[in-house]
Amino acid sequence: MLREFRLPDLGEGLTESEILNWHVSVGDIVELNQVIADVETAKAVVELPSPYAGIVAQLHEPAGTVVEVGSPIVSFEVAVPAGADTGAPEAGAGPVSAKREPTLVGYGAVPDSGGRPARRRRGQAPAADPVPASVPAVVPADSAPAATPAPTPAPVHERPRSTPPVRKLARDMGVDLTQVQGSGPGGLVVRTDVVRAASPAAETMQTSAPDAAAAAPAPPPPAGREERTAISGMRKHTAAAMVASAFTAPHATVFLTVDVTPTMELLKRLRQQPAFEGLKLSPLTLAAKAVCLGLRRFPSLNSRWDESAREIVRYNYVNLGIAAATPRGLMVPNIKDAQTLSLHGLAAAVTALAQTARDGKTPPADLTGGTISISNVGVFGVDAGTPILNPGEAGILALGAVRRQPWEYEGAIALRSVMTLSLSFDHRLVDGEQGAGFLSDVGAVLADPALALAMA
């Protein structure tokens, strides 16, 4: 029996995903919940398991294609259990209620429905209605009226087959899809077709002779002066989130430069302890602890503005987001209930979180539910910046680079390790006094880590 697997909803409220690569080919034997493909959503890369055990009969979409949720992506030939009824439902029987099969990710294919109409290819004429058995096939010539030739129907120009992301890309790049020959299954227009059509050579081929004679196009720019890259799902999601945040929450930013020499000395001693072996210890580790402690005195930084309910939601827990630069773009996975972790626990969580993000294996659950974030821009040699809030959060702390500079220390000038902290906050939720007080508390812990004991 042939079973069709449609792209499931991955539980993120997203409408499309891109198939990065297939782990199976046509003819392969697969087991139930075996990983068959890597799928990139707007937030992460997810391994897609098989909802059936059987043989791969067809891959409906090639790697690199953006597929809408609910579209078929693969078909399986599965064995029919002995005694199973595979015939058509009896006449007059009501429609069989479809039940979605749970898998490791989302839901699998919906069982076939007896009343589902067959899908025809675009441009194909619908099948003629069957002639009832009681109607004779031949009409006597003497009773047949004179036949008049039927008018020739006008040709129907259907819209080329493509997905919504491809149509948007075509609009952005100024490509007429009616002039593009699709290279996907069944003539589907895919991204590569649009990008190819947008090149100067393709544009010249698409221009008709009369149009070219009327107005000659400007000569194409020299090769290599421009490069176009299709916007990935993750980049699109990041852009939408940043625009929504920048134009929704009124940002305010405060800065503080502190002497973090005691922090650097403490981290050096901790690296020599067996308990911290294998963990990455950096100022980010201690800053994460300082943020959790500072929120006790200034909980407004750990809140959310609920416009629809006209309420301020204050969190009694800390899901601490850590901004991570990955090959696929910016990601901000968060550490759940960070306020309950010790310094060792935070160090282990930050180390695991960063490695998972770089490998592209961050689960979707770790990318949602954050309450406040930290961005360590110092690793790029930057001293300070104005970080943009994650949507739904009231604060984000940026750590600058640690630099050895002349600094006043105990009444004299000494060479010390200095860092600049930048805090952006939502001014609807956080007043200037609260933002400045929170940043001062974080800076005080970094300047004297022993204060963490008093604030605990």
Active-site annotation, residues: 427
Phi, psi of 425 (to 5 degrees): -145, 160
Which residue is listed with tokens 């984000």?
396
Other beta carbons less than 10 A from residue 20's beta carbon: 16
CB contact set of 454 (below 8 Å; sequence gap of 6+) = none
* Distance (Å, whole) CA 441 – CA 455: 9
Distance set, CA 356 to CA 19, 45, 46, 144 (Å): 20, 11, 12, 78
Strand partners, 49: 35
For the chain, the first-to-last Cα distance in angstroms comes to 63
Distance set, CA 414 to CA 85, 261, 407 (Å): 86, 11, 5
Strand partners, 314: 303
